[in-house]
């Protein structure tokens, strides 16, 4: 049978009513657990995997795909409405999405996230089906030095998300970098900045940090405004649906997000959040409305959400073609596949085509289910914002801590939540941007480890960093991105740039 | 409300018998990892085989299991219903993290499963045998970069033991720690490092597909279906197993310990457990009683020596 | 927390809060320097060892601290809004209560208390109503997530009644 026939066959079996029901249950359960801040798709899948064991192979695969997509999408809803990104990949979504929700445009924000996720998931799943073998070759060319160059590029481009003061943006970034040092050094096993506290040995959990910085910090900040702050947010201003203008601004962002997210997800050390950072920076650069960024630009939701979903499908490329689990989620999926008698690896497509195509068909169906489940609920979700402030914020705190306790029931973790929540509050008072802290926390260790691995392999020869063509190109782009704005600013007094920068909050 | 109904429908499917908790198993790792999977498989089998009415799994992740073991030793003292899953990685982590609570502070019951370490090179490599690799290592230790898991873990220890057995200074090995099996494997496949060292399961499908060349395995004897010499046969006196075990709380009576050991033996010998080992690709290396205690003491001593020699423990 | 720096009062007086921030950054850098100085940097073949990157970050922080001092004297920091302290204390108190109680009282009582105290911070004054409501909501959440969805949430006396 040809590739296409296998896919059609898979789709036909996945579209049986009973299987559709399993997909719906999977998506629902995945969303329920996934909405908890601090519980990302990996933990969601790990927790719910046993539920699927009760079903036959096809049914369990479909429900599993549903849980996976549900867990991933669940985080976006709460990020947009409540500004509580619970996992690294939805932090960027919260930046613009929550601003939109505050301005009564939560409906379009949720819709562009859902449709963008669907579009990206669809394209990326098809790409997984047809071009996976080529993508994986590209991914394997990436070694430590290429990753290091990619991280440098990421640092340079995401600095556009740093807000209107270079000093405060850089300070936030360095706070993140300093915090990223805490814990066991990956490469030598020595403790850094853990002061003999065992709970610090594994470093500071990005999810805990995200929940503290966004959910707790924001709650404290709003509490401190006291009676001055408006008692209720106006949940809907204009249409609850996307307008023609919203569509026009979203579709290109979805496609760009997909193109950025998919290959980065496919790289063994890429990671979904890097795709979302790059997508956000790209949208901000290309937008005709740069002044809206930081105040709720729809492209800033559409692009990163698409990138997030595309990179999730990208993660499956090395997993299915090589048996490489490249993320926590993928490692758990690998365990799940083994349960269904699927041994991912280079021979999988040849030895087990039915199951592989069944899985890909399941992903497509689950993706569709997600849209079916979420679009009608947009109107209902937005109503969440009309809950009176005391109950809304008390509820946010319950949910934020629930996620953290569920992931790791430790008093120490709750203490970190409080301490970093207070730090985030003080940072908000002094107008320090929050996102760079998380960027530093994520990218810092990646860049450091890849640099040291590259130098260790070369036994201390620094020139290897530039002698790989891919690394050289990436570093060159990074250099241009860094120097060009400086040159422009000196030439034309940087009218455009200052205007762009001034739009941040 | 719809969510709620669906969930309760599923609750029926998961079927929790409403009896008193018989065992509560602590997995000192996050959901999804090897120890967590071991704990959850134990949970299923103990219930399915009616060895226990109700089993709960609790995750206490962190620092190679040292946070879990510390909490277990202090909170479960004398509790005959508490179990802890652990493994060889914990032995190393306790040493490198200078954990005040060690395996002496719990009551080890039995070793359940294990995996052997294998040494591989990409199939395009000009290294054809473990002898070639050792020769290269002796000539210039730095020129052999080893890709494997985290620093101080089983893979790192394995590389150190091999160097030592070959007469090379273990501090001179060029070990490149990667954060996960997948990342290490990608670096080996992409020829970013000279050789790879990890448990057989990590490399199995690549070896079968011919993209990795298997040089040697760390078991004491040859294993059926794995076409490679043991390190011992190749003149390197190294036997290393990455095992997982189950322990009980400290301060329990001899009778209580015996009762637990009987339950665990029932578990390990049950058909359901064997079935699970097969689907998960785990090797049955069940060992209990005095034989296990002796093996454990030996493993701890040799690990401490090699970690000191690599320079990770002072 | 925030002293209301009034720009009109005196242009020459530095922004004290900003100076405190600069000091904190410098202290963080100092902590990094002291902590990593004990690391053995000899392990491995990479000239960039476990202590190198921390040093770079430390120097970066010191640079930023100096920059912040200049900004403090030039009044580059934006004006702060008035901050009310008591609501913040209620919320922090709720989080503290949850942290202290979760081990002994279980998820519902601890988190229910957080719910009530946080709501008090946002203006819902009737604690005798909001705390019980919070506990009931949290008990339902516990039942759903721990009972049905297998999340490990600490159980206390109330949860044990449900089991």
Say yes or no: B264 and B304 in one domain. yes
How high is the pLDDT of residue B2? Answer: 41
Check B4 against C144: CB less than 8 A apart.
yes
pLDDT in the model for residue B21: 44
A300 or A294: which carries more pLDDT confidence?
A300
Whether B224 is covered by a domain: the verdict is no
> Hey, what's the torsion of the CAs at C138, C143, C148, C149, to 10 degrees?
20
The 10 Å CB-count burial string (b at 16+, else e) for B168-203 is bebeebbbbbbebbbbbbbbbbbebbbbbbbbbbbb
Domain residues for B269? 16-114+242-310
Is A410 in contact with A202 (CB distance < 8 Å)? no
> Which two structure tokens, joined as six digits, stand for A70?
């549900």
Instruction: Please say which residue of B217, B252, B276 terminates a domain.
Output: B217
Percent residues over pLDDT 70 in chain A: 83
- State the Cα–Cα distance between residues A145 and A450, nearest whole angstrom: 7
Shortest distance, CA C44 to any CA of chain A (angstroms): 7
Distance between CA B86 and CA B83 in Å, rounded? 10
Give pLDDT, residue B79: 82
Instruction: Measure A433 CA to nearest chain C CA, in Å.
Output: 13
**C156 and C89, same domain (yes or no):** yes
Q: Please give the radius of gyration of chain A, using alpha carbons only, rounded to the nearest integer.
A: 22
pLDDT at C32 over 90: yes
pLDDT in tens, A2-29: 667 777 887 887 778 888 888 888 888 8
More confident: A395 or A488: A395
- For strands B241-248 and B82-87, give the pairing: antiparallel
- Asked whether residue C2 is assigned to any structural domain, the reply reads no
Interface test with B, best of A324, A331, A409 (most B CBs within 10 A): A324
Q: What tens digit of pLDDT does each residue of B61-117 get?
A: 777 788 888 888 888 888 888 888 888 888 888 887 777 788 888 888 888 888 889
Longest dimension (CA), chain A: 68
Burial label for B295, CB within 10 Å (0-12, 13-18, 19+), is middle
Domain boundaries along the sequence of chain A: 3-501
Rounded to the nearest 5 percent, the helix, strand and coil shares of chain A are: 75, 0, 25
| Pairwise CB contact (< 8 Å): A406 & C152 | yes
Q: Give the number of domains in chain C.
A: 2
Query: Cβ distance B198 to B125 under 8 Å?
Result: no
Q: Which residue has the tokens 């997530």?
A: C145
Q: Can you give the pTM of this predicted structure?
A: 0.81
Last residue of a domain, one of C36, C52, C74: C74
Among the three residues B217, B234, B269, which one is the final residue of a domain in this structure?
A: B217
| CA max distance for chain B | 70
Give the mean model confidence (pLDDT) for residues B232-251.
Answer: 87
- State the CB neighbour count (10 A cutoff) for residue A2: 7
Contact A405 C153 (CB under 8 A): yes
Residues of chain B contacting C, Cβ within 8 Å: 4, 7-8, 10-11, 14, 16, 18, 57-59, 142, 171, 174-175, 311-312
Residue A414 and residue C98: Cβ atoms within 8 Å?
A: yes
Nearest chain A CA: its distance from B209 CA (Å): 6
Q: How far is A178 from chain C (nearest CA, A)?
A: 7
More confident residue, C74 or A423: A423
CA–CA dist B15, A288 (Å, integer): 56
Cβ–Cβ contacts within 10 Å for residue B255, how many? Answer: 9
Find chain A residues with C-beta within 8 A of C81's C-beta: 225, 228, 429
Angle at A175 between CA C34 and CA A208, to 5 degrees: 110
Per DSSP bridges, beta strands A191-192 and A183-184 are: antiparallel
pLDDT at residue A51 greater than cutoff 70: no
Q: Looking at residue C45, what DSSP letter applies? A: S
Task: Please give the interface size between A and C, counted as residue pairs whose CB atoms are below 8 Å apart.
Answer: 204
Same-domain check for residues C108 and C141: yes
Q: Which domain holds residue C101?
A: 85-162
Per mean pLDDT, which of B221-230, C29-38, C70-79 is the most reliable? C29-38
In the structure, what pLDDT confidence band is assigned to residue B50 with cuts at 50, 70 and 90?
Answer: confident
B258 to chain A nearest CA, in Å? 31
On whether residue C9 sits in a domain, the answer given is: no
Q: Can you tell me the mean pLDDT for C132-150?
A: 84
pLDDT (0 to 100) of residue B8: 42
Instruction: Give the rounded distance of the alpha carbon of A464 from its chain centre.
Output: 31
pLDDT tens readout for residues C2-17: 444 444 444 567 788 8
Task: Find the CB nearest C152 among B7, B59, B175.
Answer: B59
Nearest residue on chain B to A344, judged by CA atoms? Answer: B205
Number of domains in chain B: 2
Q: Is the dihedral of CA A439, A442, A445, A446 positive or negative?
A: negative
Q: Does the distance separating the beta carbons of C45 and B142 come in below 8 Å?
A: yes
3-state secondary structure of C54: helix
State pLDDT tens for residues A279-291.
Answer: 888 888 888 887 8
Predicted confidence at residue A150, as pLDDT, reads: 84
Q: How far apart are CA B16 and CA A296, in angstroms?
A: 46
Say if C66 falls within a structural domain: yes
Cβ(A314)–Cβ(A265) under 8 Å? yes
User: What contacts C80, CB < 8 A, 6 or more positions away?
Assistant: A429, A430, C2, C4, C5, C17
Q: Are B61 and B142 within one domain? A: no
Separation between Cα atoms, residue B173 and residue B177, nearest integer Å: 12
What pLDDT is recorded for position B1? 38
Same domain, C93 and C158: yes
Distances, alpha carbon B249 to alpha carbons A199, B37, B68, B92, B266, in Å: 21, 20, 12, 21, 19
What ipTM, to 2 d.p.?
Answer: 0.89
Q: Where a domain ends, among C55, C74, C93?
A: C74
Q: How far apart are CA A414 and CA A398, in angstroms?
A: 12
pLDDT band, very low/low/confident/very high, at B118 (cuts 50, 70, 90): very high
The 3-state DSSP class for residue B80 equals: coil
- Greater confidence (B305 vs A383) lies with B305
> Do residues C70 and C92 share a domain?
no
* Closest Cβ opposite residue C148 in set B11, B18, B59: B11
**Residues A432, A425 contacting (CB under 8 angstroms):** no
Is there a contact between B4 and C43 if contact means CB atoms under 8 Å apart?
Answer: no
**C68 in any annotated domain:** yes
- pLDDT over 90 (residue B162): yes
Q: Per-residue pLDDT for A459 more than 90? A: no
Indicate if the pLDDT at residue B271 is higher than 70: yes
Residue contact C152–B57, C-beta within 8 A: yes
CA–CA distance, B144 with B100 (Å, rounded to integer): 35
pLDDT of residue B6: 45
Q: Give a yes or no: residue C64 inside a domain.
A: yes
Note the pLDDT tens digit of each residue in C36-79.
888 875 557 888 888 889 999 999 999 999 999 998 888 878 87
Q: What's the whole-number average pLDDT of chain B?
A: 82
**DSSP label at C12?**
S
Interface test with B, best of C39, C44, C161, C163 (most B CBs within 10 A): C44
Closest CB to A402 among C49, C94, C141: C141
Closest Cβ opposite residue B174 in set C45, C144, C163 = C45
With 0-12 / 13-18 / 19 or more C-beta atoms within 10 angstroms meaning exposed / middle / buried, residue B153 is buried
Contact C115 A411 (CB under 8 A): no
**Alpha carbon distance A446, B68 (integer Å):** 27
User: Is the domain of C89 the same as that of C39?
Assistant: no
User: Are B37 and B93 members of one domain?
Assistant: yes
Closest CA to A157 of A474, A427, A417, A496: A474
Mark yes or no for CB contact C43/B59 under 8 Å: no
Interface residue of C66, C91, C147 to substitute, partner A, most A CBs within 10 Å: C91
Residue B4 lies in a domain: no
How does pLDDT run across C69-95, given as a tens digit for each residue?
A: 998 888 878 878 788 889 999 999 999
**Chain C residues in contact with B171 (beta carbon < 8 A):** 43
Most trustworthy range by pLDDT among A99-113, A231-245, B36-50, B85-99: A99-113
Say yes or no to pLDDT of A357 above 90. no
**Range 439-468 of A in CB contact (< 8 A) with B:** 449, 453, 456-457, 459
Q: Which residues of B touch C150 (CB under 8 A)?
A: 14
C148 with B8: Cβ contact below 8 A: yes
* Chain A nearest CA to C46, separation (Å): 4
Examine the fold and report which residue of B202, B217, B232 is the final residue of a domain before the chain moves on. B217
Give strand pairing partners of B197.
Answer: B119
| Model pLDDT, residue B16 | 39
Q: What are phi and psi of B14, to 5 degrees?
A: -70, -30
Angle at A406 between CA A402 and CA A408, to 5 degrees: 120
Q: Look at residue B113 in the predicted model and tell me its pLDDT.
A: 87
Compute, in degrees rounded to 10, the torsion defined by CA atoms A117, A119, A120, A124. 130
How many residues belong to chain B? Answer: 314
User: Which residue is closest to C162 within chain B, CA to CA?
Assistant: B18
Q: For residues C94 and A394, give the distance between their C-alpha atoms in angstroms, rounded to a whole number.
A: 10
Cα separations in angstroms, A249 against A118, A237, A257, B165, C49 = 17, 18, 13, 64, 47
Chain C residue numbers with beta carbons less than 8 Å from the beta carbon of B14 are 148, 150
According to the per-residue pLDDT averaged within each range, which of A180-184, A234-238, B56-60, C62-66 is highest? C62-66
| 3-state SS, residue A203 | coil
Neighbouring C-beta atoms of residue A206, cutoff 10 Å: 19
CB contact under 8 A, B7 and C43: no
- Tokens representing B138 are 């002796």
Q: Which of C27, C52, C74 is the last residue of a domain?
A: C74
**pLDDT band of A270, cuts 50, 70, 90:** low
Whether B233 is covered by a domain: the verdict is no
Closest residue in A to C98 (Cα) is A414
Residues C92 and C155 in one domain: yes
* Residue in chain C lying closest to B310 (CA): C43
* Three-state secondary structure string covering A215-277: HHHHHHHHHHCHHHCCCCCCCECCCCCCCHHHHHHHHHHHHHHHHHHHHHHHCCCCCHHHHHH
Same domain membership, residue C51 and residue C89: no
* Minimum CA–CA partner of C41 in chain B: B311
Q: What is the pLDDT of residues B9-47, one digit of tens each?
A: 444 334 333 333 488 888 887 766 678 778 888 888 888
Q: Is residue B123 part of a domain?
A: yes
- Residue A420 is predicted with a pLDDT of 94
User: If interface means Cβ-Cβ distance under 8 Å, which residues of chain C face chain B?
Assistant: 40, 42-45, 144, 147-150, 152, 163
Q: Which string of DSSP letters, residue by residue, matches A36-65?
A: STT--HHHHHHHHHHHHTTS-HHHHHHHHH
B123 lies in the same domain as B196:
yes
Whether B255 maps to a domain, the answer reads yes
Same domain, C59 and C113: no
Beta-bridge partner residues of B82: B24
Round to the nearest angstrom and report the end-to-end CA distance of chain C: 45
Could you tell me if residue B290 is inside a domain?
A: yes
Instruction: Read off the pLDDT band of B216 (50, 70, 90).
Output: very high
In chain B, % of residues over pLDDT 70: 91
CA distance to A197, A396, A414, B143, C95, per residue, from C101 (Å): 22, 19, 11, 56, 10
Of C40, C42, C148, the CB nearest to B7: C148
Query: CB of A9 within 8 Å of any CB in chain B?
Result: no
B7, B31, B156 ranked by CB distance to A47: nearest: B31
Average pLDDT of the segment spanning B193-214: 87
């Amino acid at each position: 049978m040809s590739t296409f026939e296998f896919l059609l066959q898979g789709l036909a079996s996945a579209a049986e009513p009973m299987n559709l029901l399993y997909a719906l249950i999977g998506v629902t359960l995945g969303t329920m657990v996934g909405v908890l801040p601090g519980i990302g798709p990996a933990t969601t899948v790990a927790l719910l995997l046993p539920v699927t064991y009760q079903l036959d192979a096809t049914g369990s695969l479909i429900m599993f795909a549903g849980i996976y997509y549900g867990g991933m999408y669940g985080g976006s809803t709460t990020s947009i409405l409540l500004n509580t990104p619970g996992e690294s990949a939805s932090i960027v979504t919260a930046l613009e999405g929550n601003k939109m929700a505050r301005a009564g445009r939560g409906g379009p924000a949720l819709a562009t996230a859902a449709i963008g996720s669907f579009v990206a998931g669809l394209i990326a799943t098809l790409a997984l089906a047809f071009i996976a073998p080529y993508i994986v070759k590209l991914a394997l060319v990436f070694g430590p030095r290429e990753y290091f160059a990619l991280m440098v590029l990421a640092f340079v481009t995401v600095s556009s998300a740093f807000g209107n003061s270079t000093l405060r943006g850089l300070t936030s970034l360095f706070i993140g970098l300093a915090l990223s040092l805490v814990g066991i050094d990956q490469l030598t096993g020595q403790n850094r900045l853990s002061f003999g506290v065992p709970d610090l040995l594994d470093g500071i959990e990005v999810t805990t940090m995200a929940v503290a910085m966004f959910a707790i910090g924001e709650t404290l900040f709003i509490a401190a405004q006291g009676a001055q702050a408006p008692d209720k947010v106006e949940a809907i201003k204009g249409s609850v649906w996307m307008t023609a203008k919203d569509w026009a601004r979203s579709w290109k962002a979805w496609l760009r997000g997909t193109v950025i997210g998919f290959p980065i997800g496919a790289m063994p050390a890429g990671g979904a959040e890097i795709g979302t950072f790059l997508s956000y920076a790209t949208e901000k650069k290309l937008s005709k409305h740069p002044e809206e960024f930081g105040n709720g630009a729809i492209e800033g939701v559409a692009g990163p959400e698409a990138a997030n979903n595309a990179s999730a499908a990208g993660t499956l490329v090395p997993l299915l073609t090589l048996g490489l689990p490249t993320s926590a989620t993928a490692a758990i999926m690998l365990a799940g596949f083994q349960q269904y008698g699927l041994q991912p690896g280079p021979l999988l497509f040849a030895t087990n085509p039915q199951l592989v195509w069944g899985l890909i068909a399941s992903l497509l169906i689950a993706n569709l289910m997600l849209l079916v489940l979420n679009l009608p609920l947009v109107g209902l979700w937005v109503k969440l914002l009309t809950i009176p402030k005391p109950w809304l914020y008390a509820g946010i705190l319950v949910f934020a801590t629930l996620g953290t306790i569920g992931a790791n029931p430790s008093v120490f973790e709750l203490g970190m939540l409080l301490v970093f929540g207070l730090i985030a509050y003080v940072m908000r008072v002094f107008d320090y941007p929050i996102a760079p802290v998380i960027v530093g926390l994520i990218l810092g260790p990646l860049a450091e480890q890849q640099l040291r691995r590259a130098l260790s392999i070369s036994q201390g020869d620094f020139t290897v960093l530039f002698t790989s063509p891919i690394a050289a190109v990436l570093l060159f782009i990074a250099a241009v991105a860094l120097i060009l704005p400086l040159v422009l600013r000196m030439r034309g007094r940087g009218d455009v740039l200052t205007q762009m920068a001034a739009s941040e909050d | 409300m719809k969510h709620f109904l669906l969930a309760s429908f599923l609750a029926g499917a998961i079927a929790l018998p409403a009896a008193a908790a018989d065992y509560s198993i602590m997995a000192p790792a996050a959901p999804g990892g090897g120890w967590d999977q071991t704990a959850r498989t134990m949970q299923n089998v103990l219930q399915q085989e009616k060895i226990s009415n109700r089993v709960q799994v609790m995750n206490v992740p962190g620092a190679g299991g040292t946070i879990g073991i510390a909490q277990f030793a202090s909170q479960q003292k004398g509790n005959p219903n508490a179990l802890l899953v652990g493994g060889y990685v914990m032995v190393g982590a306790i040493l490198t993290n200078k954990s005040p609570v060690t395996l002496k502070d719990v009551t080890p019951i039995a070793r359940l499963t294990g995996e052997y370490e294998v040494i591989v090179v990409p199939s395009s490599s000009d290294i054809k045998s473990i002898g070639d690799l050792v020769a290269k290592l002796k000539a210039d230790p730095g020129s052999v970069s080893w890709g494997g898991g985290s620093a101080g873990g089983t893979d790192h220890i394995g590389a150190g033991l091999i160097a030592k057995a070959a007469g090379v200074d273990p501090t001179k090995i060029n070990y490149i720690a990667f954060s996960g099996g997948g990342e290490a494997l990608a670096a080996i496949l992409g020829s970013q490092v000279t050789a790879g060292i990890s448990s057989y399961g990590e490399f199995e499908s690549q070896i079968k597909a011919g993209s990795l060349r298997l040089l040697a395995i760390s078991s004491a004897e040859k294993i059926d279906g794995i076409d490679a010499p043991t390190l011992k046969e190749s003149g390197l006196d190294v036997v290393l197993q990455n095992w997982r075990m189950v322990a009980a709380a400290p301060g329990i009576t001899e009778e209580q310990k015996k009762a637990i050991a009987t339950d665990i033996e029932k578990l390990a010998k049950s058909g359901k457990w064997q079935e699970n080992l097969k689907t998960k690709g785990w090797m049955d290396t069940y060992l209990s009683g005095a034989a296990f205690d002796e093996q454990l003491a030996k493993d701890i001593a040799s690990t401490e020596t090699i970690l000191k020699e690599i320079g990770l423990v002072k | 927390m925030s002293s209301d720096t009034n720009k009109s009062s005196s242009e020459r007086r530095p922004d004290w809060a900003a100076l405190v921030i600069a000091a904190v950054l410098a202290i963080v850098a100092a902590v990094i320097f002291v902590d990593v100085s004990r690391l053995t940097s000899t392990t491995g073949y990479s000239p960039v060892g476990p202590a190198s990157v921390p040093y770079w970050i430390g120097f970066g922080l010191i640079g930023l601290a100096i920059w912040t001092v200049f900004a403090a004297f030039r009044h580059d920091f934006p004006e702060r809004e008035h901050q009310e302290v008591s609501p913040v204390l209620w919320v922090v108190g709720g989080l503290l209560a949850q942290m202290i109680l979760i081990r002994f009282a279980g998820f519902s009582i601890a988190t229910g208390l957080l719910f009530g105290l946080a709501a008090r911070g946002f203006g819902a004054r009737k604690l005798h109503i909001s705390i019980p409501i919070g506990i009931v909501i949290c008990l339902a959440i516990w039942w759903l997530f721990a009972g049905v969805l297998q999340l490990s949430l600490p159980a206390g006396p109330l949860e044990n009644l449900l089991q």
